[in-house]
A = this chain, B = another copy of it.
Amino acid sequence: MERKVVGIIGLGLLGGSVAKALKRFTEYEVIGYARRGEVCSAALACGAVSEAYGDAKLVAQKSDILVLALPPDTNADIFEQLAPHLKPHTLVTDVASTKGRMVKRIYQYLPNHSTFVSIHPMAGSERGGFEMASDSLFTDATWIVLEDKGNPAYSEDDAKLLVQMGEAVGSMVERVSLHEHDHLVATISHVPHVTATLIASLAGESNKPELAYKLAAGGFRDVTRIAGGNPSMWKEILRGNATEIDQLLLELTQRIQNVRELLTSDDDGQELEKYLQKAHDYRNEYLQVKESERRLL
């Protein structure tokens, strides 16, 4: 059965970029839902979608592939309403950055005739909204297709279709188990986000915030950049993955305690330098992985 119509629920930065990228790089017909009329108009005007609706049910009824592109909890909430209106054999997917709590709810609402395979395009920006959406947001980004092989709602054929979609829009595709995913994204996305907000707060709640900002150089700028992200969206992301994040934040406080000991140890800083050298090497290994990804393209 060939799937022709992709319906995108939510035309923000990610949903809008999926629409634009599919329009540019594939033969799919793309339709979309946005709550605000001006977003529908903008998406229609630039050709990102061929049809746009302010009622998500109308999109669900026409879609062969349904992409949930709202924040995780909102995806689950809206899918509860849409599930009874799906066409038979719909492939449901989502582009949220945390899965645990949301996926449990989606499985619960999913009709037996349809399948669900989750994806996570690792791309974004601290500035959201359709006006920031781009058909090249996924170029060179990692596009994760999540496996959940034991689950009856999971389909290996549909996972392959989503792998092809990721490749078509210029991403590097990785396949990861749903189980591993949330711990990994907590490590490389959610906990870094928390530390960015902590560093911004330390400066903002210091005795002289304005002077602190003036003295701040590139290090502060980069470490805090993602603290500028949308608070309401990040609230959902972080709470949707609270178990994994909590565990890593506990580990982080233990690691901070270790650094505090190294700062004042009477070994003339030898162990502190070893610690800094290791962090330096991890950062270089990360750069090498990214560099070899670029060479593969």
Stretch in A15-23, A28-36, A59-67, A192-200 touching the partner: A192-200
A243 CB, nearest partner CB in chain B, Å: 9
A5 in the interface (beta carbon within 8 A): no
A212 in the interface (beta carbon within 8 A): yes
List chain B residues, Cβ under 8 A from A225: 219, 222-223, 283
Q: Is B231's CB under 8 angstroms from A273's CB?
A: yes
Q: Show 20 A/B contacts (Cβ-Cβ < 8 Å), sorted by A.
A: A123-B218, A124-B217, A176-B211, A187-B206, A189-B215, A191-B199, A193-B219, A198-B279, A204-B282, A221-B286, A222-B222, A223-B223, A224-B286, A229-B280, A235-B273, A236-B269, A239-B269, A239-B272, A245-B263, A252-B256
**A207-221 interface code vs B (CB 8 A; 1 in, 0 out):** 011111111111111
List chain B residues, Cβ under 8 A from A217: 122-124, 141-142, 188-189
The residue that A238 contacts in the complex, of B144, B263, B285, with Cβ under 8 A, is B263
List chain B residues, Cβ under 8 A from A184: 206, 208, 211-212, 215
A91 in the interface (beta carbon within 8 A): no
How many of chain A's residues have a CB under 8 angstroms from any CB in B?
98
A123 CB, nearest partner CB in chain B, Å: 6
Q: Is B200's CB under 8 angstroms from A282's CB?
A: yes
Q: Measuring CB to CB, which residues of chain A are less than 8 angstroms from any residue of chain B?
A: 122-125, 141-142, 144, 172, 174, 176, 180, 183-185, 187-189, 191-206, 208-232, 234-236, 238-239, 242, 245-246, 248-253, 255-257, 259-260, 263-264, 269, 272-273, 275-287, 289-290, 293
Q: Is A227's CB under 8 angstroms from B280's CB?
A: yes
Q: A213-B290, A263-B246 are contacts. A219–B238 as well, Cβ < 8 Å?
A: no
List chain B residues, Cβ under 8 A from A235: 269, 272-273, 276
In the complex, the chain B residue whose C-beta lies closest to that of A255 is B198
List chain B residues, Cβ under 8 A from A257: 253
List chain B residues, Cβ under 8 A from A124: 217-219
The residue that A209 contacts in the complex, of B213, B220, B282, with Cβ under 8 A, is B282
A205 to B255, alpha carbons, bound, how many Å? 12
Assuming A191-B202, A223-B225, what are 20 further A-B pairs, CB within 8 angstroms?
A142-B216, A142-B217, A184-B215, A188-B213, A188-B216, A189-B216, A192-B199, A193-B219, A201-B282, A203-B286, A204-B279, A205-B282, A210-B285, A227-B283, A228-B287, A231-B280, A235-B269, A238-B272, A239-B263, A256-B256
Q: Is B227's CB under 8 angstroms from A226's CB?
A: no
A245 to B260, alpha carbons, bound, how many Å? 8
List chain B residues, Cβ under 8 A from A259: 194, 197-198, 249
Q: Is B208's CB under 8 angstroms from A223's CB?
A: no
List chain B residues, Cβ under 8 A from A212: 184, 187-188
